[in-house]
Amino acid sequence: MAKPTADERDGPGERAEANRENSRMEFLLTLKRRGIGDRAVLRAMDEVPRDRFVEPAFTDSAYVDQALPIACGQTISQPYVVAYMTEQLGLRPQHKVLEIGTGSGYQAAVLSRLVREVVSIERYRTLADRAKETLASLGYDNVTVIAGDGFAGAPDRAPFDRIIVTAAAEQPPPALLEQLATDGVMLIPLGPQNGPQNIVRLTKSLTGTVRETLIPVRFVPLLPGRALEL
């Protein structure tokens, strides 16, 4: 009688776990091939389990380099974009970071591996509560999630060394620029909802703000106020 193969011996759970691990390895190789070179960023991307932040129906696609739908009509960003924006922030361990647009909490989780503190604002209470639960379950205790208005930021916790906005606006919200520390950096997708958008890096100094256009992207729009739906 022929011996069973490894696939035949393993149950569905073991095969799924093996496939997920292979996907994670390919996931990191994809990031490197696309130009992500910061070792600390790559380590953070490796440490944070993206499959814990996606909807259950998309678990098998968690490590594919694509955006995926989440609740409230929002998305979890493409891994390359998460890694790219994280790298372009130039993070240091002592930094305090403000994130606008918590979504699933995935970007906040990656940031939490690299900095002292992350404050993340989400307009949808449903998403904010889910993100809190997921982050707490993974032990990421240096992230504070607030249900509120991203345009207003978190003035009571300012200034921030870095600000990252994960939804597109036509112009940088003035309140966020005010909350950015001198020599601080903000990354924000700018452009119309149905038109071309680009990630823009704003570096604040005593004499003004330097603006750099980076890569084209497509993000959901940044909306003012807190969502009425819970």
Q: pLDDT tens across 92-119, in order?
A: 999 999 999 999 999 999 999 999 999 9
User: What is the pLDDT, as a whole number, of residue 224?
Assistant: 83
Q: Identify the band that residue 136 occupies on the pLDDT scale cut at 50, 70 and 90.
A: very high
Q: Identify the band that residue 223 occupies on the pLDDT scale cut at 50, 70 and 90.
A: confident
Are the beta carbons of 126 and 229 closer than 8 angstroms? yes
Residues annotated as catalytic are 77
State the average pLDDT over residues 153-171. Answer: 96
Give strand pairing partners of 169. 190
Q: Are strands 160-165 and 180-190 parallel, antiparallel or unpaired?
A: parallel
Q: List the domains of the chain with CATH numbers.
A: 66-217 (3.40.50.150)
Identify residue 217 by its one-letter amino acid code.
Answer: V
User: pTM of the entire structure?
Assistant: 0.89
Average pLDDT over all residues of the chain: 91
Q: Whats the size of the chain, residue-wise?
A: 230
User: What is the pLDDT, as a whole number, of residue 22?
Assistant: 72
Going 20 to 73 to 219 to 105, the CA torsion angle's sign is negative
Residues 36, 134, 161: CA angle, nearest 5 degrees:
50
